[in-house]
Chain A
Amino acid sequence: MEVKIENLKKQFGQVIGVKDLDLNVRDGEFVALLGPSGCGKTTTLLMLAGIYKPTDGTIRFGDRVVNQVQPRDRNIGMVFQSYALYPHMTVFGNISYPLKLKKVPKQEQMERVERVANTMGIGGLLDRRPGQLSGGQQQRVALGRALVKEPDILLFDEPLSNLDARLRLTMRSEIKQLQNRLGITAIYVTHDQVEAMTMADRIAVMNQGVLQAFDTPEDLYDRPKTLFVAGFVGNPPMNFADVSVMAEHGGFTARNESIRLQVPAERGQKAAAAGKVRMGIRPEDIHVVDEGDAVTAEVVIVEPLGRDAMLDVRFGSDQFLVLADPQKHIRAGDQVKLHFDMDSVQFFDLQSERSLLWN
């Protein structure tokens, strides 16, 4: 089922929750709504579910405008952050509840619940109460309840945030596989960018009720269109420094009082005319080198991450995060030489905060 959101707006009194949102979700697509808390992503989801009525704009499921359609008539399945499993019903009671309300015959209820439960690997737990289940099992029951209706659209509201890290990893791929196999359109709200990046076909990044970008994970990461997206997507986050890009000696350089870096012509050209710009470069694109054309910086903090050591370095007035090989045994207070891999450098306009490269 295709989902088309046009000009969607939601206002709570004076507070604007979602502002002029346009979003087209293709049939069978997995779309993540990503953003910090309070960005309007859950509000959007609840409008899709029909719990909230939009202040303005239209929501279409296929060709049908659903603004005034009751939640039960939208044929959606939803998985909540808290799972919202009815504590006084058994697992069977929970999964069969939507069918019961639809007055599906008893025999068919049993068959469908059993089928879904077996798919989710909870066939043996049907007599239990939610209180007797582990977090992962509850999650599966919640998914089962959403799926048993054979919905056109699946809505997820941060479904993995109550699970521990290891289980989250498993459930992530399970949900993705399931969605892929069933081909149900899925809209998935999360504040965890790793979740969004790994699961979604496309990610809608939101901030303060406004859609910032709607792109594939690769595009968001490599070609961020706004400063917010560049800073929000990626962990550890992108480093920023204000520089001027100038044409010199047949090439381009980005410079401020403490750095002076060669910029590839294709990117430098677009940034050169803009005067002072904000340069962005990801931590993995900065390398600690022993010698060569490099910037010297002082290490302020070292955070061992296992595979890498994350260095917080300072040069001039700029402070950057850099990933280094832990084998180098760098300590706080050391001086290091940094090489900037400028092939994936980003430039943003200071006023509009939009990318100078990708708009």
Chain B
Amino acid sequence: MSKNKYHIIIPFLLPAVVLYAVFVMFPYGKAIYISLTKWRGLTPNPEFIGLENFQKLLGDDLFWNALSHNLIYLIFIPAITLSIALYLAFLLTHGKARFSRFYRVTFFFPQVMSLVAIGVLWSFVYHPTIGILSSIAGLLGAKEPIAWLGNPDVALIAVGAVVVWQAVGFYMVLFIAGMESIPVSYYEAATIDGASRWDLFWRITLPMLWDTIRTAMVFLAIGAIDMFAITQTMTEGGPNRSTDVLATYVYDRAFLKSNFGYATAVAVAMFVLAFLLSLLTMRATQRESLEY
């Protein structure tokens, strides 16, 4: 019987395994190999150089510069996005907000736009002369146009804000779905026990939403390590590399400097970082799963 069992299982499993191997496992393996080579992308045979690329990486200021920006995003984007999304979700499920349906759709809207379109759109919003933000600043009395994306001190925050704006709606909807599946009797019981709205949020909603929140954290963390599309369309890592992230640095090294071996090493470092981070987030936020 057990032999027969495999006769049936293998043909079903094979297509998926083959596809996964060809399109996922093989590129990963190949990328790791390329990261150990010196390759300009033109010759068919990359030159194997061992860990030299990674060694170089450790002393590369531009790599650390890009990484530091990712880390800043990593600290602030998930925290800010989650806070706003949770606040809005709680307001729209438990508050007496009118037109709550309208708000749900409106806040979700950025999620259906392509990141590139959002990048271009916000480039106009931030435009120093024709942008709406500068016009408002002008109305409020600013003498000179503000270069939101042109000032190295402000650009990183400006780009990060766009990502928060884009992501909040999605997580809000995710949290609304989670909150609406929490049985109302918990809230009734807690209200009778004397809980304020604040207590309800901290002691009922948050613990029962925990699984959803930690999934959101992982998504946002991975997003913060990436940041490619929005950075590339808005600033290309500038001005003066003040918004450069690992992904734009990879792009820069590979396609602008034709240094594929080194670029791939950066990409592998990025992968390791994202992987460790996901693992860490899941571990650190592990709780006994709740059933209700």
Residues of chain A at the chain B interface (Cβ within 8 Å): 46, 49-51, 71-72, 74, 76-78, 80-82, 84, 86-88, 97-98, 101-102, 129, 131, 145, 149
Check B188 against A49 for contact (C-beta < 8 Å). yes
A133 to chain B, nearest CB (A): 12
Check B192 against A72 for contact (C-beta < 8 Å). yes
Check B188 against A98 for contact (C-beta < 8 Å). no
Check B203 against A82 for contact (C-beta < 8 Å). no
Check B194 against A86 for contact (C-beta < 8 Å). no
Given contacts A86-B203, A88-B290, contact A101 B195 (CB under 8 A): yes
**B residues near A74, Cβ cutoff 8 Å:** 192
Check A72 against B194 for contact (C-beta < 8 Å). yes
A78 to chain B, nearest CB (A): 5
Some 26 contacts from A to B, beta carbons below 8 A apart, are: A46-B188, A49-B192, A50-B191, A51-B188, A51-B191, A71-B191, A71-B192, A71-B194, A72-B192, A72-B194, A72-B195, A77-B192, A78-B189, A78-B192, A81-B185, A84-B186, A86-B186, A86-B204, A86-B207, A87-B208, A87-B291, A97-B190, A101-B193, A101-B199, A129-B288, A149-B193
A155 to chain B, nearest CB (A): 8
Q: With contacts defined as CB atoms under 8 Å apart, how many contacts are there between chain A and chain B in the complex?
A: 63
Check B208 against A88 for contact (C-beta < 8 Å). yes
Fill in one digit per residue for B192-223: 1 if any A CB lies within 8 Å of its CB, else 0.
Answer: 11110001000110011000000000000000
Question: In the complex the two chains form, what is the Cα distance from A185 to B203 in whole Å?
Answer: 30
- The interface residues of chain B, by DSSP majority, are classed as helix
Fill in one digit per residue for B17-40: 1 if any A CB lies within 8 Å of its CB, else 0.
Answer: 000000000000000000000000
B140 to chain A, nearest CB (A): 42
Check A80 against B193 for contact (C-beta < 8 Å). no
Residue of B nearest to A146 (CB): B192
B99 CB within 8 Å of chain A: no
B292 CB within 8 Å of chain A: yes
B183 CB within 8 Å of chain A: yes
Residue of A nearest to B210 (CB): A88
Residues in B75-130 with C-beta less than 8 Å from chain A: none
Q: Which 6 residue pairs across A and B have the least CB separation, nearest first?
A: A72-B194, A101-B194, A84-B189, A98-B193, A84-B185, A88-B207
B4 to chain A, nearest CB (A): 40
Question: In the complex the two chains form, what is the Cα distance from A72 to B191 in whole Å?
Answer: 7
Residue of B nearest to A49 (CB): B192
**A residues near B191, Cβ cutoff 8 Å:** 50-51, 71-72
Question: In the complex the two chains form, what is the Cα distance from A349 to B279 in whole Å?
Answer: 75
B103 to chain A, nearest CB (A): 22
Fill in one digit per residue for B249-292: 1 if any A CB lies within 8 Å of its CB, else 0.
Answer: 00000000000000000000000000000000000000110111
Check B193 against A145 for contact (C-beta < 8 Å). yes
Question: In the complex the two chains form, what is the Cα distance from A338 to B3 in whole Å?
Answer: 70
Question: In the complex the two chains form, what is the Cα distance from A301 to B242 in whole Å?
Answer: 87
**B residues near A51, Cβ cutoff 8 Å:** 188, 191-192
